[in-house]
Amino acid sequence: MTPDIRPLIAGNWKMHGTRSSLSELKAMAEGFAQYAGNADGLICPPATLLHEAAATVRGLAFSIGGQDCHAEEKGAHTGDISAEMLADCGAAHVIVGHSERRTDHGESDETVAKKARAAWRAGLVAIICIGETRDQREAGETLRVLSRQISGSVPDEATAHNTVIAYEPVWAIGTGLTPTADDVAEAHAHLRAELRQRLGEKAERMRILYGGSVKPSNAAELLAVPNVDGALVGGASLKADDFLGIARAAAQR
Ligand SMILES: O=C(CO)COP(=O)(O)O
């Protein structure tokens, strides 16, 4: 954790959830109330649920976000969704550059930077994801890859208010594997230094989340690492008990 930065516990539901899942969301948002003040809570459901999800958490200290957005505001882009549309549905954040988008849809750092700008244009906080693959880690390239991704995916206009960075080692996503606390510390310190060099003072309070197989059982250890300012949670964000277990660890730090 970074002193004075309130941690963000963000859930990414990926391609999971139908309207029947909204009761689980309600339980999460209501349960999160006990941690409000010590942690911020966010769920990014599939776009089909955004509008009802925003209505479900209305009046609770809890946010809703999108999982991706198109770089443009509108146009002939069948199947795509703009940041403005997400905002119109009640989203406050949007994830951009998730490794599954980079892999499944061939998104480059340049595309991700454009999407981050689109998020800001619509008044959303951009959660910009980066992370090395297993091959890159085994080749000792992790820090170099992270530098390249930060420099290509994070526009100069990024501030601690409009941007959250999420470090998600690709090999840790959905595998049950996590880096050691020392490895997480090294990556996050490197990211903070890179951001400081790029953005100056603004970088000090920018949240850097860790993502990849975060669960209630490992959350306390991961969230205690210096420069880890919250978590981006996949599988464990689908169940209120798991998500709230992670929130508890964040609030008790
Ligand atoms: O990709 C992730 C969140 O964006 C992490 O997913 P898991 O928590 O399921 O490993």
Question: For 58-77, b where at least 16 C-beta lie within 10 A, e where not — what string?
Answer: eebebbbbbbbbbbbeeeee
**Residues counted in the chain:** 253
Residues with CB under 6 A from ligand 1: 12, 98, 168, 173-174, 211-214, 232-236
Mean pLDDT value of segment 103-127: 98
Q: Give the pair of three-digit tokens for residue 112.
A: 């991700």
pLDDT, tens only, 126-173: 999 999 999 999 999 999 999 999 999 999 999 999 999 999 999 999
pTM over 0.90: yes
Tokens 């100056």, residue located:
200
Which residue's CA is the nearest one to ligand 1's atom 3?
A: 234
* H-assigned helices in 91-203: 99-104, 109-121, 134-138, 142-153, 181-199
Report the alpha-carbon distance of residue 117 to residue 156 in Å, rounded: 10
Angle at 68 between CA 85 and CA 65, to 5 degrees: 65
Mean pLDDT value of segment 54-76: 98
pLDDT, tens only, 72-95: 999 999 999 999 999 999 999 999
Amino acid at 135: D
Known catalytic membership, residue 110: no
Burial of 133 (0-12, 13-18, 19+ CB in 10 A): middle
Residues annotated within the binding site for substrate are 12-14, 174, 213, 234-235
Confidence of residue 253 (pLDDT cuts 50, 70, 90): confident
Q: Give the pair of three-digit tokens for residue 157.
A: 């206009």
**Closest by CA position to 128, among listed 115, 118, 141, 137:** 115
pLDDT of residue 161: 97
pLDDT of residue 1: 75
Q: Which residues contact 92 (CB under 8 A, 6 or more apart)?
A: 42, 63, 64, 65, 124, 125
The CA-atom distances, in angstroms, between 122 and each of 41, 86, 141 are: 21, 9, 35
Q: Which atom of ligand 1 is nearest to the CA of 95?
A: 4
Is the separation of the CB atoms in 97 and 131 below 8 Å?
Answer: no
Q: Which CATH number fits domain 8-251: 3.40.190.10, 3.40.1280.10, 3.40.50.300, 3.20.20.70?
A: 3.20.20.70
More confident residue, 4 or 206: 206
Consecutive H or E run containing 8:
strand 8-12
DSSP 233: E
Q: Structural domain boundaries of the chain? A: 8-251
Confidence of residue 210 (pLDDT cuts 50, 70, 90): very high
Known catalytic membership, residue 168: yes
Would you say residue 44 has pLDDT above 80? Answer: yes
Report the alpha-carbon distance of residue 178 to residue 171 in Å, rounded: 8
Confidence of residue 124 (pLDDT cuts 50, 70, 90): very high
pLDDT of residue 252: 87
Q: Which atom of ligand 1 is nearest to the CA of 174?
A: 10
The pick from 9, 12, 171 for probing ligand 1's pocket by mutation, whose C-beta has the most ligand atoms within 8 angstroms, reads 12
pLDDT of residue 6: 95
Q: Catalytic pick from 93, 98, 188, 190?
A: 98
pLDDT, tens only, 3-40: 789 999 999 999 999 999 999 999 999 999 999 899 99
Percent of the chain beyond pLDDT 70? 100
Mean pLDDT, rounded, of the chain: 97
